[in-house]
Structure 1
Amino acid sequence: MTTIDKHKPILVTGGTGYLASWIIKQLLDEGLSVHTTVRQKKHKTKYQHLLDAAKQSPGKLKIFEADLLIDHSFQEAMTGCELVTHTASPFKITGIKNADKELVQPALQGTRNVLFSANDSDSVKRIVLTSSIVAMVGDTIDIQNLNHGVMTEKSWNTTSSVNHQPYPYSKTLAEKEAWRIASEQNRWDLVVINPGFILGPSLSKRTDSTSISLMRQLLSGKFKMGVPDGDQAVVDVRDVAKAHILAGLTASANGRHLAAAHQKDFLAIAEVIRKKHPRYPLPEKVLPKWLFKFVGPLMGFSRKYVERNIGYDFVFDNSYIQQDLGLKFRPFETTIEDHFKQLVNDGLIPDKRS
């Protein structure tokens, strides 16, 4: 049992991120004090949405400069914090030239950097780490080999490598390293959130999130000919943010938490939007796997990836996160509709609403 003093500041690393921004906003809306890190404070436009959120809430926000690859750079931001939420980690699926340099080492080094800083900080009592569902399973086909063919918090990714599925590999190594470091001390405890495919409105107009990029592609007509087959483990970004806060402030919170709400495919996402906004060139069918094998490499997906992921479903059991944290998930339709509205209102997709 770890009780956090809500009068002390809470550190959220990687504050400009899609998920981190919502964690910060929700903490500020609760009237709490938040420390967050950005790579360069001089680039104010990247975190102006956080300053705006702070102005509109009873909480207080303080910005610090830190870098995953610079030792001890999180120390100042951590001063006086009992709770640290570590979200900062590189996220790339395609366009990777050097996986070890771009993904694996930053994820590992960043995790070590933050956790070693916690070791050197007298105030830290709990760290909440953002891991991923892909630290539980590397390729979707692997789920068939799990107990009853269902993912749970007991599942670990055993098939990814630096050459195949390097992003899942980086998340797996980083989470395992976090558990190792946590086990070697007894002053703070570790709680982990493993989100599925995060969707939902963004607080900024940034488009470099993979989730936002996919929504824009779906609405642009890029997948008009069809989408890959297979259900995703979809979850709302606001629910994942809430999960992090509950994991930090619930004294009894413990272990890993699979944060996924709905088993839905890409056609289901398109259908929610098409019902109210039929003018968008949304996909209406699934692309045959043989065809995706042909075009996949042109889109940055290897044939091995296609073979092991397309046509298989994310089947999961999310009962533990609901039981341990008391988390309630939003309806799937709400997530998609709110995400769509944000993209239109921010001018990130054309307004073709009837």
Structure 2
Amino acid sequence: MKHTILVTGGTGYIGSWVTKGLLENGHTVRLTVRDKSKPEKFAFLTEIANDSPGTLEIWEADLMKAGSFDAPAKGADLIAHLASPFILNVKDPQRDLIDPAVKGTENVLSAANHSGTVKKVVLTSSVAAIHGDNVDMENMGLEEFTEAQFNTSSSLNHQPYSYSKVMAEKRAWEIANAQSDWQLVVMNPAFVMGPSLTTQSKSESLKLVTDLLTGKFKSGAPELYFGFVDVRDIAKAHIYGLEHTAEGRHILSNQVASFLDMSKVISKKYGNTYKLPKSFAPKWLLSLIGGLFGVTRMFVKNNVGYHLKLNNNKSKTALKMEYIPFETTVIDMVEQMRAQKII
């Protein structure tokens, strides 16, 4: 069955892969952009649409403007809401992160309420809405994190990005539970990696890998463990959630790994081409110099050296996920960065 799907954030790192997949599957995609008069921002998707059975429509809408999604939502039967700020170093967390994330979600879901046609909304949240610090697992007496947990350790002052994801997702569930016209399905991806469809990508993962390859951690990497997931897998999960029956939250994570694990994958392929770390930096040193890397002492205290386990069973059973190997994700990303002369 072919659908008319409103996609917010469809030109972004994750969203562009979702848009591509939906077009290839023959759907009509209503892509929202802030300014239609700048076609260069979405030209790469227009090219994909020209070679796909689906149809691409461009609509103007602003996350922060109430009512601006009402027109593109009317007549759509599905919404994929991917638009949300992902900036780790901000001057004003409330203004730059919390307000856009929460108000944007409110405006999009309000449009679903007003549409009379929307039956399902797939929302991109994050594992950051499930846990804040890695020490949380120990403090909560957990063997692993599942979809049952909500992050309670992040705040406006500590990990504000994670806090924005918690606040936006909780608000989404409040709005969804107050009506019966449409169903909410949530995706909670871990740290996103893999190739980008656009050279305009400013993803945090691109910054992280650039830092790693250019020697920022050559004398020692922080002992930090993240869940990693390929951007193409996240797109597959969203598309499955839109096209098939799905409910609730879904952790999207292939495996937990450290910077050293990533470095080993890269050095196995490229030898000594890059100044990669070969050991972990001492935690006490990171506490002293963390500010140079944009992390606080509190972040170092609650995350460095603490292992993490994310249960991805639901994604495998409910969304039929078969994850791309971590090694493939890393190398595909590095290869693209080399081709684009980023490194």
Q: What TM-score do you get using the length of structure 2 for normalisation?
A: 0.97
Give the superposition deviation at 1:34: 0.9
> Contact conserved, 1:144 with 1:150, CA < 8 A, in 2?
no
> For residues 336 and 14 of structure 2, what CA distance do their matches in structure 1 show?
15
> For residues 283 and 163 of structure 1, what CA distance do their matches in structure 2 show?
30
Partner of 1:22: 17
- Give 3-state SS (helix, strand or coil) of 1:148's partner: coil
Deviations 1:125-178 (A, max 9, x none): 000000000100111110113453210000110111111111111110110000
> For residues 81 and 194 of structure 2, what CA distance do their matches in structure 1 show?
21
> Contact conserved, 1:193 with 1:258, CA < 8 A, in 2?
yes
Paired amino acid for 1:11: L
Partner of 1:272: 265
> For residues 111 and 184 of structure 1, what CA distance do their matches in structure 2 show?
15
> For residues 19 and 292 of structure 2, what CA distance do their matches in structure 1 show?
38
Give the superposition deviation at 1:16: 1.6
Deviations 1:270-326 (A, max 9, x none): 111111212112222111111111111122211111111111122111101111111
Partner of 2:72: 77
> For residues 145 and 241 of structure 1, what CA distance do their matches in structure 2 show?
33
- Give 3-state SS (helix, strand or coil) of 1:149's partner: coil
Paired amino acid for 1:270: S
> Contact conserved, 1:126 with 1:191, CA < 8 A, in 2?
yes
Partner of 2:285: 291
Paired amino acid for 1:59: G
> For residues 54 and 211 of structure 2, what CA distance do their matches in structure 1 show?
36
Partner of 2:109: 115
Partner of 1:11: 6
> For residues 285 and 202 of structure 1, what CA distance do their matches in structure 2 show?
29
Q: Which aligned pairs between 1:223-234 and structure 2 lie closer than 5 A?
A: 223-234=217-228
Q: What TM-score do you get using the length of structure 1 for normalisation?
A: 0.94
Give the superposition deviation at 1:44: 2.3
Pick aligned residue for 1:177 from 171, 177, 181: 171
- Give 3-state SS (helix, strand or coil) of 2:142's partner: helix
- Give 3-state SS (helix, strand or coil) of 1:97's partner: coil
Paired amino acid for 2:252: A
Q: Which aligned pairs between 1:247-262 and structure 2 lie closer than 5 A?
A: 247-251=241-245, 253-262=246-255
Provide the aligned length of Structure 1 versus Structure 2.
342
Give the superposition deviation at 1:109: 0.3
- Give 3-state SS (helix, strand or coil) of 1:257's partner: strand
> Contact conserved, 2:12 with 2:201, CA < 8 A, in 1?
no
Pick aligned residue for 2:124 from 102, 125, 130: 130
Partner of 2:231: 237
Give the superposition deviation at 1:207: 4.2
Pick aligned residue for 1:31 from 26, 29, 33: 26
> Contact conserved, 1:74 with 1:114, CA < 8 A, in 2?
yes
Deviations 1:245-290 (A, max 9, x none): 1111112x11000011111111111111111212112222111111
Structure 1 residues 204 and 300, CA gap change in structure 2 (3 angstroms): same
> For residues 163 and 228 of structure 1, what CA distance do their matches in structure 2 show?
22
> For residues 118 and 61 of structure 2, what CA distance do their matches in structure 1 show?
18
> Contact conserved, 2:13 with 2:201, CA < 8 A, in 1?
no
Give the superposition deviation at 1:231: 1.9
Partner of 2:318: 324
> For residues 342 and 191 of structure 1, what CA distance do their matches in structure 2 show?
32
> For residues 101 and 261 of structure 1, what CA distance do their matches in structure 2 show?
33
> For residues 12 and 333 of structure 1, what CA distance do their matches in structure 2 show?
30
> For residues 82 and 207 of structure 1, what CA distance do their matches in structure 2 show?
29
Moved over 6 A (4+): none
Paired amino acid for 2:260: L
Deviations 1:4-39 (A, max 9, x none): xx3331111011210000000111121222111112
> Contact conserved, 1:8 with 1:80, CA < 8 A, in 2?
no
Give the superposition deviation at 1:347: 2.1
Instruction: Give 5+ residue unaligned stretches, structure 1.
Output: 1-5, 350-354
- Give 3-state SS (helix, strand or coil) of 2:170's partner: helix
Instruction: Give 5+ residue unaligned stretches, structure 2.
Output: none
- Give 3-state SS (helix, strand or coil) of 2:227's partner: strand
